A and B are shown apart, each in its own frame.
Chain A
């Protein structure tokens, strides 16, 4: 699937809701913290909408205007690193993001983030093709159908 900007946004929203929420629920239970994992998921989603604009511009530099699965994997890892660095930098500045516990450790963040993002990445290259046959022809848009 070669994503368009709308397709990226819709796919991100769907997969983080469909798979990200239940997986985050598991981590909330395991960490005995019902707020931080869900807040993190929200930040990933909101920041992701912005990252998608950047990726969409980068795509236009490529002749095929595509986004290979490896790029998707590397970009999701980059987003995780960026979020963690931003969180720790803000904490050092004395700014606490709403919903983020000061006890959040790098290991807990990494486990939660990798579980969600890798599941989402795998589903974007398999499950969505099976659920929405029009998804691959509409650049990742699953909400709208052919008019």
Chain B
């Protein structure tokens, strides 16, 4: 379906708002801005920040005089997603009370955005996500892992063989067995349980965060619009945690150009957008689909296409379009990561040791200038080391319904018969132009981490002249503090993907969020922040016992 122009919406519903990032009109309620990929809340609200917000230090006396509601808190988590949840969980376990913590976020559930992006990229609740058994955002100890809980469930259902298979996996992964991965539903259910235990809803203020500033009394003030309100509210706190997640999904320039020129949002989509219509049409009529990207989303979508192909019997052809061939193994020291069929596979998005072993220590010990080299050596675009995904690729290549093409996309156009023409430039010498014709294109090129696309962080950088690392993200200390933002006794921490390029590699993983929470709370305990106590062996064990029995953390 070709949609009418955004600027002349004849016969089209009234705009629901403008995107906060690109300012263009949005006519329905997609999960991301269809023009630039910004993640919600993308609707632009009239932003009339008080004049004092133009200064680096806000006078609280002046702010209170203006009449907008101003409340106070000790610990303030901005974001409201999984990063905020894990930090708040840690604070609660270390002794902070609900009344001392405020969370501002757009969604009622910390996993809402994660779940939506998973669903769109074909990872439903039953599917397994790329994560470790012990990477539990609801359990700071990581034990018992998801695998142990699944084994118990299988034993109760007398599914002995499946239980033994999982036990073997967690004993020998990833050397002798495929790495265990939990089902998405298990993650959501455990999060719901922990939300109830720590009183998440009592601490959450649903709304859109607008800005953060230092105050003239050594604290910070966050401005936000509560849900369904057009009046600005303020929260003042001495300890602030920023975990705002990705700025948006990554819409390639050629996809953005295509959308602006032809206003089509159905034939060419980003994998994180809702695109169920593509699978429906392919199941009914078959067709040709171009797939871009070589990460886990591309793997899962290829698997889904294979499932539809086998179930419907329709001729479905998948053209896997990659920028360049990939045949070299990745090498670091004496070890190598193998490349097969132009895919690179590893269990997690970083080598396991980067989560807590010698690679974690090596990155922290490295000079800031060396870190990018190490991160490039260990990371890159990889997919899960799953045998079922490898089997789909091998069978697809053998049977001919899955083919690989290499080239740089120059332009995407409709061909007038509800199909797409993709113009390519290959990397031969001299470069030659080619074209591919397909019914659909699914772009699996990931999410947007550009600091400039992040209104709150870009504003903080500009206002306080915060330094950026070699990867373009804000510089944080190994304790995840934005040191330049220190204000007297007040401190601001940054966790999640926007802390990439610093002393810890897997910042956007469940374990990475727990690591960041542990480091930041350790700093707060050391600094004598109110009501926090160190988690020594005795209190850790006693708090775990409370977690196990679903009892509220003890104060």
A interface vs B, CB < 8 Å? 1-5, 59-66, 68-71, 73, 126, 129-134, 136-139, 145-146
Contacts and interface: CB of A to CB of B under 8 A. Distances in A.
Given A64-B347, A68-B175, A130-B141, A138 B356 contact: yes
Most A CB contacts (10 A, CB to CB) among B143, B174, B353 go to B353
Given A68-B172, A133-B540, A134-B522, 6 more contacts: A64-B347, A68-B174, A130-B544, A132-B537, A138-B356, A146-B479
Contact of B353 (A61, A64, A69): A64
Interface in B351-365: 351-353, 355-361
A2 B518 contact: no
Most A CB contacts (10 A, CB to CB) among B346, B358, B544 go to B358
Contacts of B332: 63
Given A2-B355, A68-B175, A137-B518, A126 B361 contact: no
Contacts of A73: 171
A129 to B, nearest CB: 4
B357 A65 contact: yes
Contact of B174 (A5, A66, A126, A139): A66
B337 A69 contact: no
A70 B169 CA distance: 10
B304 interface: no
Contacts of A137: 355-356, 360, 515, 518
B541 interface: yes
A2 B236 CA distance: 40
A139 B364 CA distance: 13
A63 B385 CA distance: 13
Contacts, number: 106
5 contacts: A70-B172, A130-B540, A137-B355, A139-B356, A146-B519
B351 A63 contact: yes
B407 to A, nearest CB: 30
A129 B140 CA distance: 9
Nearest to A1: B356
B541 A130 contact: yes
B181 to A, nearest CB: 15
B13 interface: no
B335 A65 contact: yes
Contacts of B537: 131-132
B149 interface: no
B336 interface: yes
B360 A126 contact: no
Given A61-B334, A68-B172, A69-B171, A2 B515 contact: no
Nearest to B140: A133
Contacts of A71: 175
A61 B173 CA distance: 16
CB-CB nearest 10 A-B residue pairs: A2-B357, A65-B353, A64-B352, A70-B172, A66-B352, A131-B537, A129-B143, A63-B335, A137-B356, A146-B522
B358 A126 contact: no
A5 B361 CA distance: 12
A73 B176 CA distance: 14
B6 interface: no
Interface residues of B, number: 43
B535 interface: yes
Contacts of B359: 65
B287 interface: no
Contact of B141 (A2, A59, A62, A133): A133
Contacts of B522: 134, 145-146
Interface of B: 134, 140-144, 170-176, 330, 332-337, 346-347, 351-353, 355-361, 479, 515, 518-519, 522-523, 535, 537, 540-541, 544
B480 to A, nearest CB: 11
B429 to A, nearest CB: 33
A130 B140 CA distance: 9
Contacts of B176: 68, 70
B357 A3 contact: yes
Given A4-B358, A129-B143, A146-B479, A64 B170 contact: no
Contacts of A62: 175, 335
Given A64-B346, A64-B347, A133-B140, A139 B361 contact: yes
Contacts of B346: 63-64
A5 B358 CA distance: 8
A60 to B, nearest CB: 6
Given A69-B171, A138-B356, A129 B141 contact: yes
Contacts of A1: 356
A4 B336 CA distance: 19
Nearest to A4: B358
A134 B518 contact: yes
A6 to B, nearest CB: 9
Contacts of A145: 522
A2 B142 CA distance: 14
Contact of A66 (B353, B519, B540): B353
A57 to B, nearest CB: 9
A1 B141 CA distance: 11
B337 A63 contact: yes
A116 B360 CA distance: 31
B376 to A, nearest CB: 15
Nearest to A141: B361
A118 B352 CA distance: 24
A2 B519 CA distance: 18
A61 B175 CA distance: 12
Contacts of B337: 63
B330 to A, nearest CB: 8
A3 B361 CA distance: 11
Contacts of A59: 353, 357-358
A136 B136 CA distance: 13
A133 B518 CA distance: 8
Most A CB contacts (10 A, CB to CB) among B332, B334, B357, B479 go to B357
A68 B540 contact: no
Contacts of A146: 479, 518-519, 522-523
B26 to A, nearest CB: 42
Most B CB contacts (10 A, CB to CB) among A73, A139, A146 go to A146
A63 B358 CA distance: 12
